[in-house]
Structure formats: structure tokens, C-alpha cells
Amino acid sequence: MKKELAKTYNPKDIEEKLYQKWLDNKYFRATVDWSRKPFTIVIPPPNITGQLHMGHALDNTLQDILIRFKRMQGYNALWQPGTDHASIATEVKIIEQLKKEGIEKEDLGREGFLERAWKWKEEYGGRIISQLKKLGSSCDWDRERFTMDEGCNKAVNKVFVDLYKKGYIYKGSKIINWCPVCHTSISDAEVEHEEKEGHFWHIKYPVVGEEGYVEIATTRPETMLGDTAVAVNPEDDRYKHLIGKKVLLPIVNREIPVIADSYVDMEFGTGVVKITPAHDPNDFEVGRRHNLPEINIMNDDATINENGGKFAGMDRYEARKAIVEELKELGLLVKVEKHIHNVGTHDRCKTTIEPLIKPQWFVKMDELIKPAVEAVKSGEIEIIPDRFNKIYFNWTDNIRDWCISRQLWWGHRIPAYYCDSCGEIIVAEEEPSRCHVCGNTNLRQDEDTLDTWFSSALWPFSTLGWPEKTEDLEYFYPTDVLVTGYDIIFFWVIRMVFSGYAHTGKKPFNKVLIHGLVRDSLGRKMSKSLGNGIDPLEVIDKYGADALRFTLITGNAPGNDMRFYWERVEASRNFANKVWNASRFIMMNLEKAELTKTIDENLLTPADRWILSKANKLVKEVTDNLETFEIGIAAQKIYDFIWEEFCDWYIEMVKPRLYNDQDETKTAALWTLQHVLTVSLKLLHPYMPFVTEEIFCTLQEMTGLKEKDSIMISSWPEYNPDWEFEKDAESIELIKEAVKGIRNVRSQMNVPPSRKAKVIVVSDNERVKEIFTESKAFFAALGMASEVLVQDDKSGIGEDAVSTVIRGGTIYIPFEDLVDIDKEIERLEKEKERLEQELKRVNGMLSNPNFISKAPESKVAEERAKLEKYTDMMKQVMDRLESLKK
């Protein structure tokens, strides 16, 4: 018994089964094959703490579409998977788990904590991978990597040592983002800037040695404890006389200089700025230019340290209140203004970050960034869409040295070792046994770990075996395209680019495809705080992975945000049902057919050639769209073709031939149905892999036209220039125009589909008459015609016939064929009686003075509107009755 499709499409019945089939047959596997051209994508590694969200779903669907498309084109397609260790996020999760057990991180010690961390990774780290599989992601899972696996660790250590030896990595004290809760430095990428309501405190700083003061405005009064200068713009005439003088720092009573620096904006605030080099990145730069002292007044937990005098031990906000109160008592607080400003918070714990001077490890960026700039400028690396070039260059033009050390235990430990005997710092890939300067064997490794982005910056080549010269690296690298959201273009994409050039001498990828965010139906960013996040797994469970994938791609344009609507998911599910049901119908008619792979074109009818031409054109357009990353446009074209042209038109056109065993063109119709369905499934496969796989394999088994065991390894359709049947396309488009006109007429007259009517085509154009004569059978079916006549003029057509104009002619339908006149008169007489009653009622109300004077205005207006409506309806009924009675 031949396999057949189930009566109804249920994704749960097929998705898991088909994915396992693909895994079992190693269809996702890519191995070096120099006879084939490679196509490589590396997955942006999701965090091991991660739960699949809509951003992941969109990003991975886009990648899967590209990789499936290229695989079908014959490329040796590798989608390299893996996960990121996510230092802070993972450490936070483990600490939370420990606290539930009543254990502090420090109780375990570093080794004990890492043991728990690896155990946690083994238990939860693969969760998001299993979720990506539910989405249908066709990664080569045999190659799965982890940013802290042995190979990646080796790559990280080599890069650190190489950059250190070349002078690009150094240790120094600079301003960094400090999280007082997580007790670590964090990157700019992990700082979320939120607009918050705060205040400007205006404070008097007395001028030393003379009457008067300068007025400064600050949003953080507590930091004044660490002020080492006030600055004015050298061009500001208001303050030129003060440059070089000193002011007395209130409360602290420390004399600090007035300096001139063009950093000060004369138009902002008072034009005088307090300079706190240890607590503000801009002040830090000013301080270095003027050799100012750097006074840190905070502990790691954001309490005031001993440099804060009597405020020592206070929380930063507690100290702020106390300082403001004392300024009031001293008469030095001028005023307090409300002020909306951006406040940096740690994206993990939502704590307000504190800029602090700390000894940290940095990567010197001024030279390393140059190849990354040139690569995009020259077009060697293409960013799609190119409007993101501006953002890319804005970041590279304002590059700062990269703080790469983190005060965490989970992560790549910095390969730097300290000799306590002579103070030497030894940077080495392997732990040294002794100090090379003094010979001491008592060495200790740096406690810090590396920023997560340090290892993920190496991802495109470390996953392929670098630093070893592997065959994989030689064959699959540089990769072809990176797919990522615009929210991480700066800190990940650019770091991969400069790292690729620095360590392999090559770009890491040819193109970068930037996509937007998936927002909720109101356009808001999905977040836990808003509670508007939608779980992709919930969508998959309810509607299937194909419906979710198609929803995320339909209407999607590179770089643009999209809104998520449940109605669109339902529409995508309905589309899958449409494809399924159309396929079942075709297969039912193919059951006893004996088809061949090719067909004699002379056997094809104009309708066959029209749909083949349409499908052929679609192949060309979709291929071009996918090559240029217009993935959403291609999806819409496939949808429109399958739903409208193929299902709603062609299948309906051929039904009379399918139901007539004597029709000599039946075989051609069946061959065309099978061929166009196969082409449609292949074009749709990258978007909806599961439903297309099930139908394709069933269709092959039914017809015996075996190509491959899976659609995903079948060949991508190719455009055939010989199949541009323009003459036939013109014919069918004219038929469609006529059918649409007939349907509009019938709809306007409320004619039920079951009522057939004579259709008369009138034209003096021989080609038009030929088209309708050849196509009478399916034109009659589509046009709900009892009979089709084709003639030169209007002879024999009554004056009451309704008509619709087409190119080169007119379609007429006798009025009596559309309407049962006696029944219509009877219906209209009843409608007339009803309207008379309504008009009598409403006129009675509006002629009643009590109603007009006492009823609410809105009620009176409502009745007047009804009078106008019923009067208009009565006129239409009377006109129609008069016409029919004639």
C-alpha cells in the first residue's frame, strides 16, 4: 500500500519524527570536500543560561533558510553550532542556586565553585540547543562547540599571549564600569542606559583668597568627595579670570585648582564643571591631560571608603542625602532642579553601575581596529543593509581601549602569573614552573577571568580548529555570512572582524546580515518587566515550527523591527493547511497515473504552459531574492504563487480535465500538477522544512519519480529560459480577468454560487475569440457558467443583460439567468413593507415636540440618521422594483 498524507495536517505528528530522520541520516553533516564549493555560517552562540526567545527564533530561522537554500543549490553547507559560557549570567545563576542551599560562593572556594559550575553546565547548558532543534535548525550538531572547551581555551590563551607580546594587551588603572552587586567590571555591552528622573544639585564652591564663588551643577553630589579640580572652557569670558586660581571644595575643605579645558560645554549647566577623575570617564580623561590626582572614594560595594572622611561606611545614596543636608546647613546649596538623564544599569542585576578606577587588563585598540575599518570601507566585508555602515564607523571612530578582565571565577582565567619574590609578571599559554627572572617556583595566577566577548570574538575561526592549521579552517574559512541583530553589531561583530584579521590574516566572514528586533503587537520591546514576552516553544506547541518560522519571515526586511501578531501565526498555519490539502487533492488524482520525469511540450495546454511559466519565473525571482538576502520578499512571492496562482486558479482550471477520463490532456494536467507542486515545495522548504519534507517524500513514493530521500538534499529548482510561454500567459491572464469580472457582478447582485448562468463573450478580435473558444471548459467552471458562447457582436443579447468589460471585448450575462424575477419582486415587496413601517415610526418620533425637547441630543441625532438611511434604502428598493416590473 502506497503511503498517503493524513486527512488533516497536524505538525505534532510529523515534526519530531522528521527531525530525527534528518539527524539519523546525517543530512546536516558537512565534511571537507575540495570538489565542492563550501558555504559556511557560524551560529551566534547562545548563552548556556539561555531560554529560546523570539530574537533567537528569528535569528536562527534566517540562518536556517540560508543554509538550506545553499545546501539544495549543491554547496557543501556548514552551519557551525555552539554555545557561549556567558561568564556573568552563568555565575549569577549558580550563586542563586547556592543561596537556596544556604551556601555562599566563597564557602566553596574557587575550585569547588568551578566544579559546581561545570556540573550546572552539563545539566542545563544543552537546553537551548534542544529548543533550537525544535525550531528545525539544521546545524551540524556533531561539530557543536562551547566557548570554554579545550580547543577554544587554547585559542584564547594563544591570542592573549600573542597580543601581550606585541604590546596590544597591557595592565593599567583606568575608569571602568563597575557593578557593586556582582563585584566585577562589565563591558559597555552589558550596560543598559535608561532614562530616569533625577536632580541637578547646584552647589557653591568658594574661590580661595577672594570674595565670591563658582556654581557647579551635579547629578551625583556624593562624588564631590573625590573632586580634584573644577574646569571651565578657555573661551568662556565669564570665567577666564579664574583660570589658575583655586576653589575650596565644600565639606572636605580641600583646595582644588580651576583649570581650562575645551571639554566643558559653555552652554550646558553653569559652564563650570566639577572634575572627579576616579568616578567619571570624561573627568578621567580631563584629569590625565592635566595631571590631576585620582581620588577613589568608593568601596567595591558602592559604600564610601576612608577617603570620604566622616561619610565613610555609608551607602552611596545615604551619603548623597547626608552631603546635601550639610550643604544646606552651610548655605552652599543654591537650588535643586528636576532632571531627566540616562542612567547606566547592569543588564543582569539591574544595579546602577559605578564608574571606578581599577587596575584591569586592556586591549589597545588604535592599531588593531584599522583593518576592520578598511574592510568595510573597501567592500571586502559587506554589511546588509548598508545603512548600518554609519553605526559601524561611528563605533570604530570612537574606539576606546577594551577592558577585558572580569572579577569572576567562571570563564577563561587570564594566563598571567605573578612572582611574589621579584614582582615579575609572566604571561604564558601554559602555567610556568618557575620565574624566568629569579627562579622562584612560588607563582600565583591572576585571579581574574576574561570578558566573555574575548572568546566569542574568536568564534568564526576557533570553532574550525585554530590555532592549529586544520583542513576545516583552510576549507570553510573565511565564513560566508554572519546573521545577527543590530543590537550587538558594535561589541561582537567588530571584535570578530579585527580578531579575524589580527590572528588569521583574513576576514572572518564575507557579509553581515543585520536583522531587527521582534516586538509585541503594540511595537514594544519584549521584556520580563513588561510581561509581554512570547515563548516560541508555546507557539510551536500550538501551531507548529513551520507556522512560527513563516510568521517571523513574512514581511521581514533586513535591519527592520517587526511586530508579532498571533493572527499572523494563524495565517501561516492556514497556509500550511492550504499546501497540505492541495497536495492531498493532487495525490488523490495521481494515484493511478503513470508519470514520466519529462513531458512532450506539445501535449501541454495553454493553462499548463501558463502555470509552468509562472513557476519558472518564480524560481528566478526567489533565487535572486535569496542571493541578495531579500528573504521576506521571497517568502511573500512563494506564498502568493502557491495560494493564488496554483491553488485558487490552476487547480480549479484543470478540475474538468481531471474528472474526464476521455480528455486527452488529462495526463499533461497531472504531470503539470506534480511538477509545479514539486517546484513549489522546494522553494518553500527553507522556510517550512517539516510540511514540505512530509509532502515531498509522500509525493515521490506515490509517483515513483524518486529524486532524493529528503527534500533538503534534493536539487534547488533552476530557471529554464525555454519555459517563458508569454503567449499562453497572456491568454490565461485574460481568462482570469474575465472570471474576476463575472465574480464581481455576481457578488454585487448577491447571486449564489450554485446558480449557473449563460456567459456570452463578445469581441471582434480573433485572438480574443480564439482564447475563449480554446478555454471553454475551465472558463465555464471558473465563471459558474451553464453555457459559454463566443460571438462577434451583441446580436441575440437582451437589453437587460449585465456586462463586464475585458481587454479586447465584453462579457454579457442575461439578467434572467442571474435573478429569478418573480422571487426578487416578492423579496423587494417585503423589504418595502418593512421600510414603510420603520419610516412611519421614525417620522412619528421626529414630529413629536415632546421627544424633540426632552430626549438627549444624541438620541435625536440617532433617529435623524435612521430617517436618512431608511429614506435612501426605500429609494433603492423602489427603483429596483420599477426596473424589474418593466
**CATH number for the domain including 736?**
3.30.2320
Alpha-carbon distances of 525 from 56, 330, 488, 517, 520, rounded to whole Å: 14, 47, 15, 8, 7
168: in domain? no
344 pLDDT exceeds 60? yes
How far apart are alpha carbons 602 and 56 in whole angstroms?
50
Q: Residues 303, 315: contact at Cβ < 8 Å?
A: yes
Average pLDDT over residues 358-378: 96
176: in domain? no
232: in domain? yes
Give me Rg for the CA atoms of the chain: 38
Q: Which of 355, 390, 424 is the last residue of a domain?
A: 355
Q: Are residues 250 and 294 in the same domain?
A: yes
Lowest mean pLDDT among 50-54, 462-466, 631-635: 50-54
Q: Are residues 713 and 732 in the same domain?
A: no
526 pLDDT exceeds 90? no
Residues 6+ apart with CB under 8 A from 802: 745, 749, 812, 813, 815, 818
The model's confidence at residue 648, banded by pLDDT at 50, 70 and 90, is very high
741 pLDDT exceeds 70? yes
The model's confidence at residue 465, banded by pLDDT at 50, 70 and 90, is very high
Q: Are residues 802 and 845 in the same domain?
A: no
How far apart are alpha carbons 181 and 358 in whole angstroms?
16
The model's confidence at residue 2, banded by pLDDT at 50, 70 and 90, is low
Terminal Cα distance for the chain, rounded? 64
CB atoms within 10 A of CB 123: 9
Average pLDDT over residues 583-593: 91
Q: Are residues 678 and 748 in the same domain?
A: no
Per residue in 629-643, pLDDT tens? 999 999 999 999 999
Which of these, 131, 146, 140, lies nearest to 54 by C-alpha position? 131
As a three-state string, the secondary structure of 515-573 is ECCEECCCCCECCCCCCCCCCHHHHHHHHCHHHHHHHHHCCCCCCCCEECCHHHHHHHH
Q: Are residues 716 and 733 in the same domain?
A: no
704: in domain? yes
Going by the annotation, the residues of the binding site for ATP are: 528
Return the percentage of the chain with pLDDT > 70, whole number: 100
16: in domain? no
674 pLDDT exceeds 80? yes
Question: pTM of the prediction?
Answer: 0.87
Q: Which residue has the higher pLDDT, 490 or 236?
A: 236
Q: Are residues 841 and 795 in the same domain?
A: no
Average pLDDT over residues 498-521: 94
Q: What is the pLDDT of residue 522?
A: 86
Q: Residues 515, 484: contact at Cβ < 8 Å?
A: yes
The model's confidence at residue 193, banded by pLDDT at 50, 70 and 90, is confident
Q: Which residues of 784-810 are buried (b: 16+ CB within 10 A; e: fewer)?
A: bbeebebeeeeeebeeebbebebebbb
Q: Which of 801, 818, 835 is the last residue of a domain?
A: 818
CB atoms within 10 A of CB 362: 18
Cell of residue 58, nine digits:
528569528
DSSP string, 769-827: HHHHHHTHHHHHHHTTEEEEEEESS-TT--TT-EEEEETTEEEEE-HHHH--HHHHHHH
Longest dimension (CA), the chain: 120
Determine the structural domain holding residue 592 and report its residue range. 564-724
Q: Which of 55-64, 557-566, 698-707 has the highest mean pLDDT?
A: 55-64
Q: What is the pLDDT of residue 173?
A: 92
Which of these, 794, 812, 798, 789, lies nearest to 741 by C-alpha position? 812
Going by the annotation, the residues of the binding site are: 528
Residues 6+ apart with CB under 8 A from 186: 88, 177, 178, 179, 346, 353, 406
Q: What is the CATH number of the domain that holds 841?
A: 1.10.287.380
Average pLDDT over residues 382-395: 93
Q: Which of 779, 794, 818 is the last residue of a domain?
A: 818
The model's confidence at residue 349, banded by pLDDT at 50, 70 and 90, is confident
Grid cell 566572514 in the structure block, residue: 509
Q: Which residue has the higher pLDDT, 189 or 255?
A: 255
Q: Are residues 586 and 704 in the same domain?
A: yes
Q: What is the CATH number of the domain that holds 569?
A: 1.10.730.10
399: in domain? no
Backbone angles phi, psi at 855, to 5 degrees: -70, 150
Q: Are residues 667 and 621 in the same domain?
A: yes
Q: What is the pLDDT of residue 533?
A: 85
Backbone angles phi, psi at 73, to 5 degrees: -75, -5
222 pLDDT exceeds 70? yes
Q: What is the pLDDT of residue 489?
A: 64
DSSP string, 112-130: HHHHHHHHHHHHHTTHHHH
Q: Residues 447, 465: contact at Cβ < 8 Å?
A: no
Residues 6+ apart with CB under 8 A from 439: none
Q: What is the pLDDT of residue 808?
A: 87
161: in domain? no
Quote the mean pLDDT of the chain.
Answer: 92
Cell of residue 291, nine digits:
595631571
Q: Residues 380, 336: contact at Cβ < 8 Å?
A: no
Q: Are residues 593 and 672 in the same domain?
A: yes
Q: Are residues 599 and 700 in the same domain?
A: yes
CB atoms within 10 A of CB 694: 24
How far apart are alpha carbons 845 and 686 in whole angstroms?
66
Per residue in 745-773, pLDDT tens? 888 888 888 888 898 999 988 899 888 88
486: in domain? no
778 pLDDT exceeds 90? no
Q: Are residues 759 and 628 in the same domain?
A: no
Q: What is the CATH number of the domain that holds 207?
A: 3.90.740.10
Grid cell 490539502 in the structure block, residue: 581
Average pLDDT over residues 838-851: 90
How far apart are alpha carbons 642 and 640 in whole angstroms?
6
Cis peptide bond upstream of 849, omega within 30: no
Q: Residues 183, 366: contact at Cβ < 8 Å?
A: no
Q: What is the pLDDT of residue 208?
A: 95
Count of helix runs (H) and strand runs (E) in the chain: 29, 29
DSSP state of 608: H
Per residue in 80-126, pLDDT tens? 999 999 998 899 889 989 999 999 999 999 999 999 999 999 988 88
642 SS3 class: helix
1 pLDDT exceeds 50? no
> Based on the structure, what is the number of domains in the chain?
4
474 pLDDT exceeds 80? yes
Q: Are residues 874 and 743 in the same domain?
A: no
Alpha-carbon distances of 77 from 183, 230, 551, 833, 874, rounded to whole Å: 43, 61, 25, 74, 70
